[in-house]
Amino acid sequence: MKTTAYQQAFILHFGEMGSRWGINRTIGQIYALLYISPRPLNAEQITEALGISRSNTSMAMKELSAWQLVRVQHLPDDRRDYFTAPDDVWEIFRTLVAERRRREIEPTASMLRGALVAPPEQGDDAHAARKLAEMLELIELVTGWLDDVSDMDQRTATQLMKLGGGVQKLLGAGRRKKETPRA
């Protein structure tokens, strides 16, 4: 596997952004490589294309599998694992949202629910409990909404997003704060 300069730029960018996205450089690069690759790649090809160790590739693939961001497939008369990223960006997006929700939000929601089972009623703890309740309410509102959007097919979701602020008209309210028409 050799990569062109054009591909390199994209792969290196994903590597650099990796740390901001909570994944490491290797994982970012591998995902970028798979995403633009027109064919499935095996671990050896990935290792060679990125100049990393075989074991690093193995660990990264495990992590990407845990995120459900890659698929494994096999070719006839070849027992190596071949990896692909899903073709459809919308599907990738849904997976990302679901996984980030599970890892970054759900543990907190769960902790908040626990803390609110028997909320203190006096003093600063009571104030804290009210703030926790506000946070949980917002989390549940937003995650519920994300679930709903994830269940939509791409066409509907696209239509909804393009509607943008115009959705307020449909809601029948004159509460618009700022006019932001979209295509």
Partner DNA sequence: CAGTCTTTTCAGTAATTATTGAAATTATAC
Partner DNA sequence: GTATAATTTCAATAATTACTGAAAAGACTG
How far apart CA 63 and CA 41 sit, in angstroms, is 17
How far apart CA 4 and CA 2 sit, in angstroms, is 7
Count the residues of the shown chain that bind DNA, applying the rule CB under 7 A: 24
Task: Kindly state the tokens that stand for 122.
Answer: 């006096």
How far apart CA 8 and CA 14 sit, in angstroms, is 10
CB of residue 107 to DNA, shortest distance in Å: 15
Whichever of 78 and 124 has its CB closer to DNA, that residue is 78
The residues binding a second copy (CB under 8 A) are: 4, 6-7, 9-10, 13-14, 17, 20-22, 35-38, 89-90, 93, 103-104, 107-108, 111, 115, 120, 124-125, 127-129, 131-132, 134-135, 137-138, 141-142, 144-145, 147-148, 151-153, 155-156, 158-165, 167-168, 170-171, 173, 175-178, 180, 182
How far apart CA 20 and CA 142 sit, in angstroms, is 23
Task: Kindly state the tokens that stand for 58.
Answer: 């193995």
Which of DNA, a second copy, none does 109 bind, CB closer than 5 to 8 A by kind?
A: none
CB of residue 77 to DNA, shortest distance in Å: 8
Of residues 11, 25, 35, 85, which one binds DNA by CB under 7 A? 25
Q: Alpha helices of 81-180 — where are they, by DSSP H?
A: 89-100, 106-115, 123-151, 154-163, 167-170
Task: Kindly state the tokens that stand for 8.
Answer: 């390199």
Q: Cα 44 from chain centroid?
A: 26
Residues that bind DNA (CB under 7 A): 19, 23-27, 42-44, 51-56, 58-62, 78-81
